[in-house]
């Protein structure tokens, strides 16, 4: 029993050290340099966009606006913890306020990105050889090599390494005047400017047997993952019923008959394009995949997670006119004085709780304070790693959870004191006190969890982001408090009792 307690104590000490390292403001290996604060505490970026309905006169405008807002929310706040302000202004404008952003261009990029995922294959000549940009640079070429595919061709940089690999060079379309090359910004390109990329491939849409293009619209899910073979991040994707059929049709037609042992050949590659940029071009090595696949590339965990969220959120149903009608950095909505007063009030409240525990429970109170320090470090580390955007209501939820953590200790201590008065030994009193107090702690915390779920649902359904922040921090705080009350406090007490120098620790706290 003593050995088990020592092992748990060691785990708690290591956990406390790790969480303190995470919480410290210095940049850690996890990439978090500080707590993420909300608009009311640090301000952010304020953007106002106008939706472009000029080319969609038959579109249900209000339904389209609702979808735009929902898509932007999913893209920015996939876990419901960022607490942006996204709401409709008038009939065709959208207000977006992003907390913590200091770079307006980065904020605009996050809102404006379309996230159009499509799958392409290299265009082939009649003899099976691959078509390159050089085949189209001659001025007398006015038609596609593969006349059966009439949609545009995409050319990307496949010779460069690093961040430039896969970047869009040009999009080629067929018009009444012949073949036209355009850059990413839509400007027409001179053919002479493309000669340095003449060996790069011509990519055409990958289509099923019925001519349906394989795009991100046919995805059912996308999740970041670590490939157990390469130990590198990737994005696992799964298809809906239609996508499953088309993907397997492509695999049956394009797969490398040599399988994974075959030499890499673009003839068997399925190009994965996001907004006309090539992410990856893996070979199809199987004739059937059953609706599952993965996107690999130069990802880290963060970029893989961003890509998965972007793919799941989909494209905007209508275009947003760029640049936004209005853009500016905004300061904290509460103001510095309100923020300082609120933080001071929170610190005074925590200080009074500590003084009460020390004055009333004496030695037991010191144990509770030590467990409270572990609780605070773990909670803040969780907030930072998710990350949770802390607003003033969120901080209030966390402070309330501190009170509930202390309440759990009080229940345990009172039961222990009763057991000591009945004549039990210190070890037996600790064990029995925890056992008898646990049902009350469990039931009160479960009722709090249910309340938090209701508050989160209310905030998610009616757009009350501040309510969501309160619910999230309270839920996480109470969950951590259950751990510290049951494991940390009990371990600390058992360690002190077995040390031999504090045999009368609990007797000194009994009144």
Are 372 and 421 found together in one domain? yes
Judge if 324 and 460 occupy the same domain: no
Q: Are 23 and 60 in the same domain?
A: no
Tokens of residue 306, six digits? 């961003």
Burial 46-70 (b: 16+ CB within 10 A, else e): bbebbbeeeeeeeeeeeebbeebbe
Q: Spell out the residues 6+ positions from residue 441 whose beta carbon is closer than 8 angstroms to its own.
A: 408, 411, 412, 482, 485, 486
> Same structural domain for residues 386 and 424?
yes
Same domain, 484 and 347: yes
Same domain, 91 and 30: no
Judge whether 132 lies within some domain: no
Rounded CA separation 501/93 (Å) = 70
**pLDDT at residue 206 is higher than 60:** yes
Domain membership of residue 428 (yes or no) is yes
- Non-local (6+) Cβ contacts of 224 within 8 A are 233, 234, 235, 236, 301, 304, 305, 307, 308
Give the integer Cα–Cα distance in Å for 71 and 247.
26
Coil, helix or strand for 118?
strand
Residue 463's CATH number: 1.20.1640.10
Summarised one tens digit per residue, pLDDT across range 384-407 is 888 787 777 888 888 888 888 888
Q: State how far the Cα of 6 lies from the Cα of 494, in Å rounded to an integer.
A: 9
pLDDT tens for residues 82-114?
678 888 888 889 998 888 777 788 788 778 776
The DSSP code sequence of 203-270 is: EEE-B-TTS-B-BGGGEEEEEEEE-TTT--EEEEEEE-HHHHHHHHHHHHHH--TTGGGSPP-GGGB-
Last residue of one domain, picked from the residues 309, 330, 351: 330
- Last residue in a domain, options 295, 330, 365: 330
Q: The pTM is what?
A: 0.56
398 alpha-carbon distance from chain centroid: 22
Q: Give SS3 for 303.
A: helix
Model confidence at 1: pLDDT above 60: yes
State the DSSP H helix or E strand holding residue 88, giving kind and residue range, or none if neither.
strand 85-89
Any idea what DSSP says for residue 488?
I
Task: Determine if the peptide bond prior to 387 is cis (ω within 30°).
Answer: yes
Which of 350, 358, 407, 354 shows the shortest CA–CA distance to 380?
350
Kindly state whether residues 324 and 472 are assigned to the same domain: no
Contact criterion met (CB below 8 Å) for 437 and 412: yes
Of 138, 111, 135, 114, nearest in space to 123 by CA: 135
Domain-terminating residue out of 330, 360, 388: 330
Domains of the chain: total: 2
How many CA atoms lie less than 13 Å away from 102 in the CB half-sphere?
A: 3
Same domain, yes or no: 61 and 28: no
The token pair that represents 504 in the structure block: 């009368």
The overall average pLDDT reported for the chain is: 82
Is 153 inside a domain boundary?
no
Q: Give the span between the Cα atoms of 416 and 162, in whole angstroms.
A: 63
Specify if 360 maps to a domain: yes
Measure the CA–CA gap between 480 and 382, rounded to whole angstroms: 10
Structural domain boundaries enclosing 72: 44-114+318-330
Q: Are 20 and 84 part of one and the same domain?
A: no
- Judgement on whether residues 375 and 503 belong to the same structural domain of the protein: yes
For residue range 54-92, what is the model confidence (pLDDT) as tens digits? 655 555 788 778 878 877 877 677 555 567 888 888 888
User: Of 268-282, 293-307, 339-353, which one has max mean pLDDT?
Assistant: 268-282
């Amino acid at each position: 029993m003593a050995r088990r307690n020592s092992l748990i104590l060691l785990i708690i000490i290591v956990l406390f050290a790790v969480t303190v390292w995470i919480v410290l403001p210095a940049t850690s290996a996890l990439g978090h340099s500080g707590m993420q604060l909300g608009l009311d505490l640090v301000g952010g970026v304020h953007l106002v966009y106008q939706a472009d309905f000029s080319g969609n006169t038959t579109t249900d405008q209000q339904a389209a606006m609702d979808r735009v807002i929902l898509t932007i929310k999913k893209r920015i706040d996939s876990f419901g913890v960022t607490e942006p302000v996204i709401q409709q202004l008038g009939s065709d404008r959208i207000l977006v306020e992003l907390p913590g952003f200091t770079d307006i261009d980065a904020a605009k990029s996050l809102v404006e990105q379309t996230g159009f995922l499509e799958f392409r294959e290299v265009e082939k000549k009649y003899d099976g050889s691959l078509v390159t940009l050089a085949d189209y640079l001659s001025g007398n070429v006015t038609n596609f090599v593969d006349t059966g595919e009439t949609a545009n061709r995409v050319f990307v940089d496949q010779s460069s390494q690093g961040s430039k690999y896969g970047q869009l060079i040009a999009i080629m379309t067929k018009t009444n005047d012949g073949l036209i090359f355009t850059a990413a910004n839509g400007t027409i390109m001179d053919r002479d400017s493309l000669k340095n990329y003449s060996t790069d491939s011509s990519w055409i849409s990958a289509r099923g047997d019925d001519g349906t293009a394989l795009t991100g619209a046919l995805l059912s899910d996308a999740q970041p993952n670590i490939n157990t073979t390469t130990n590198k991040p990737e994005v696992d994707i799964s298809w809906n019923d239609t996508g499953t059929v088309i993907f397997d049709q492509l695999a049956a037609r394009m797969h490398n008959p040599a399988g994974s042992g075959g030499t890499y050949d673009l003839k068997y590659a399925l190009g994965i394009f996001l907004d006309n940029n090539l992410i990856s071009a893996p070979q199809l090595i199987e004739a059937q995949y059953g609706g599952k696949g993965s996107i690999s590339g130069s990802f880290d965990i963060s970029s893989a997670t961003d890509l998965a969220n972007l793919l799941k959120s989909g494209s905007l149903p209508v275009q947003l006119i760029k640049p936004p009608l209005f853009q500016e950095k905004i300061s904290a909505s509460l103001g510095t004085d309100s923020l300082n007063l609120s933080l001071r009030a929170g610190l005074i409240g925590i200080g009074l709780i500590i003084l009460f525990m020390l004055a009333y429970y004496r030695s037991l109170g010191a144990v509770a304070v030590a467990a409270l320090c572990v609780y605070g470090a773990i909670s803040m580390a969780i907030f930072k790693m998710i990350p949770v955007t802390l607003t003033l209501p969120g901080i209030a939820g966390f402070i309330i959870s501190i009170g509930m953590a202390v309440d759990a200790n009080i229940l345990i201590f009172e039961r222990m004191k009763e057991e000591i008065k009945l004549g039990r030994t210190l070890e037996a009193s600790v064990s029995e006190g925890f056992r008898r107090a646990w049902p009350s702690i469990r039931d009160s915390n479960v009722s709090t969890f249910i309340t938090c779920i209701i508050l989160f649902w209310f905030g998610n359904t009616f757009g009350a982001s501040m309510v969501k922040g309160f619910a999230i921090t309270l839920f996480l705080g109470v969950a951590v408090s259950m751990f510290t009350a049951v494991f940390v406090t009990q371990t600390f007490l058992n360690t002190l009792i077995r040390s031999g120098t504090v045999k009368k620790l609990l007797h000194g706290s009994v009144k």
